[in-house]
Amino acid sequence: MNGPKGDIKLEHNPDKYNEQVSIKFVTLVSIVAALGGVLFGFDTAVVSGAIGFMEHKFQLNQVEVGWAVSCLIIGCIIGAAMSGLLSDRFGRKKVLIAAAALFIIGSLGSAIPATFSGYIIARIIGGIGIGITSTLCPLYNAEIAPAKYRGRLVALNQLAIVTGIFLTYFINLGISSYGDDAWDISTAWRWMFAVGSIPGFLFLVLLLFVPESPRWLIKQGRPAEALPILLRIHGEALAKQEVLDIKESFKQETGSIRQLFKPGLRVALIVGVGLAVLQQVTGINAVMYYAPEIFKATGAGTNASLIQTILVGFINFLFTILALWLIDKVGRKVLLLIGTSSMALCLLVIGIAFQTGHAAGPWVLIFILLYVASFAISLGPVVWVIISEIFPNRIRGKATAIAAMALWAADYVVSQSFPPLLNSAGPAITFWIFGIMSLFTFFFTWRIVPETKGKSLEEIESLWASKQT
Ligand code: BGC
């Protein structure tokens, strides 16, 4: 029944045939771009395994330990800030290639230094690469994807991030159990960082084979180069219409940052930057960076807390897959509303468990896992999707960069303030603060975040125009 007959039917239905070709092509290209997410995830997780050994090796005090963890984020802020200007000028593809190179230099550089400052410099260089890829990978995917599948394809980037985090926990475990304590302190942490250069190199090579973003090409006045790429994505009739729509959208925009502060687009800026900051101040990286410490505070031993950390990585991975499946079906907004209300509830319970002295049982673990699952179906993927699709074509690069920069800056503030807050205010208050922020995110989403499911980027753009009056 299937086989040749089915194939012949496809030949008679050129539209369907085109659609099948496009999805294969776009998915492949998106997977390559999403690989940048693996590097992001790798860098998020690698230091948690290395830091204990580096502390001994370089005789670090508590401030230096904090700096060893967070200096990467300083690089990320710089990278995100540069990504907009550079990618608007030189194109998404070339800047991504440069970011991959920076990441490789950062990974190898973090592995070989004889001094602590050598490590810091290398880590900041790698961070610049991550700041750039964190902004440009979702943006590139959004610019290349057909509207119908855009949510899923951009969210692939988040799947890559959580895959990177999850794999890195195992790699850390594997490397540290290879030798004795002395070897761990002298060498294991070096291998942990060096391993990152493998996905970095793969990313760099594969990037050479992906096309430039057609939207960027049209913006540069090179529609002839954009058309064949759009043809492969959409098929003939739609591709020509896309070129016209994209050209038309540029006529409506000046491309200057000032445009973002005018009524209408100002709302887009508030949504983008607001969601970026809220993704961080609801506490996810307190769990990602400090999970073993939190579990130790509930009385778990070192081994148990390590296993629980891996469980966190697994749940994050599993529920991100669920989000990928849901994001173009139920939409971004519904996922955000369900996820943030459930996060608020989980954080409330975790706080109560600490406050009433019930932290030693399984409750904290169960509700942290539920909290991570709720993040993974909502703020995790949806925020990166929304910030890469809500801004107009001409200023998308710069505007997405502003939102990503705000996200990394908020990450820095949370990761720096979490340990002292935990010490001074205690775990209950700390988790309740994150809970209140989650509740706020729920209302923020409900009131001002628009649904962008199924709309083309140009349709989303016209949505802001209607808010101008
Ligand atoms: C966030 C990261 C976080 C990761 C966890 C991403 O969407 O931007 O800060 O570490 O999700 O899964």
- Among 165, 284, 327, the mutation site with the greatest number of ligand 1 atoms within 8 A of its Cβ is 284
pLDDT of residue 468: 57
Domain locations along the chain = 14-210, 252-469
CA–centroid distance, residue 383 to ligand 1 (Å): 10
Query: Residue 28: pLDDT above 50?
Result: yes
CA–centroid distance, residue 225 to ligand 1 (Å): 35
CA–centroid distance, residue 235 to ligand 1 (Å): 35
pLDDT of residue 20: 53
Query: Residue 467: pLDDT above 70?
Result: no
Write a three-state SS string for 300-339. CCHHHHHHHHHHHHHHHHHHHHHHHHHCCCCCHHHHHHHH
Residue 36 in tokens: 């940048």
**Could you tell me the pLDDT band of residue 437, with boundaries at 50, 70 and 90?**
very high
How far is residue 431's CA from residue 434's CA, in Å, rounded to a whole number?
Answer: 5
| Residues 339-359, mean pLDDT to the nearest whole number | 93
Residue located via tokens 């491309």:
255
What are 367-403's pLDDT values in tens digits? 999 999 999 999 999 999 999 899 887 788 889 999 9
How far is residue 403's CA from residue 407's CA, in Å, rounded to a whole number?
Answer: 6
Looking at ligand 1, which atom is closest to the CA of residue 320?
12
Q: Whose CA is nearest to atom 11 of ligand 1?
A: 380
- Among 130, 168, 279, the mutation site with the greatest number of ligand 1 atoms within 8 A of its Cβ is 279
252-469 maps to which CATH number? 1.20.1250.20
Q: Whose CA is nearest to atom 6 of ligand 1?
A: 380
Cβ(144)–Cβ(29) under 8 Å? Answer: yes
Q: Do domains 14-210 and 252-469 have the same CATH topology?
A: yes
**Amino acid (one-letter) located at 308:** Q
Looking at ligand 1, which atom is closest to the CA of residue 280?
9
Count CA within 13 A, CB hemisphere, residue 217: 19
How far is residue 296's CA from residue 290's CA, in Å, rounded to a whole number?
Answer: 10
- Among 38, 42, 43, 44, the mutation site with the greatest number of ligand 1 atoms within 8 A of its Cβ is 44
What are 70-102's pLDDT values in tens digits? 899 999 999 999 998 899 999 999 999 999 999
In order of 158, 236, 364, the CA distances from 121 in angstroms are 27, 49, 37
Cβ(207)–Cβ(101) under 8 Å? Answer: no
How far is residue 272's CA from residue 223's CA, in Å, rounded to a whole number?
Answer: 29
**Could you tell me the pLDDT band of residue 3, with boundaries at 50, 70 and 90?**
very low
Report the pocket of ligand 1 as residue ranges, CB < 6 Å.
44, 158, 161-162, 279, 284-285, 288, 316, 380, 384, 411
| Residues 48-60, mean pLDDT to the nearest whole number | 89
Cβ(392)–Cβ(337) under 8 Å? Answer: no
Mean pLDDT, all residues of the chain: 87
Instruction: Give the domain 14-210 fold.
Output: Growth Hormone; Chain: A; (1.20.1250)
Looking at ligand 1, which atom is closest to the CA of residue 162?
12
How far is residue 34's CA from residue 29's CA, in Å, rounded to a whole number?
Answer: 9
pLDDT of residue 76: 97
Which run of H or of E encompasses 44? helix 14-57
In order of 80, 114, 318, 328, 448, the CA distances from 412 in angstroms are 13, 26, 26, 31, 26
What are 193-216's pLDDT values in tens digits? 999 999 999 999 999 999 999 999
How far is residue 315's CA from residue 365's CA, in Å, rounded to a whole number?
Answer: 12
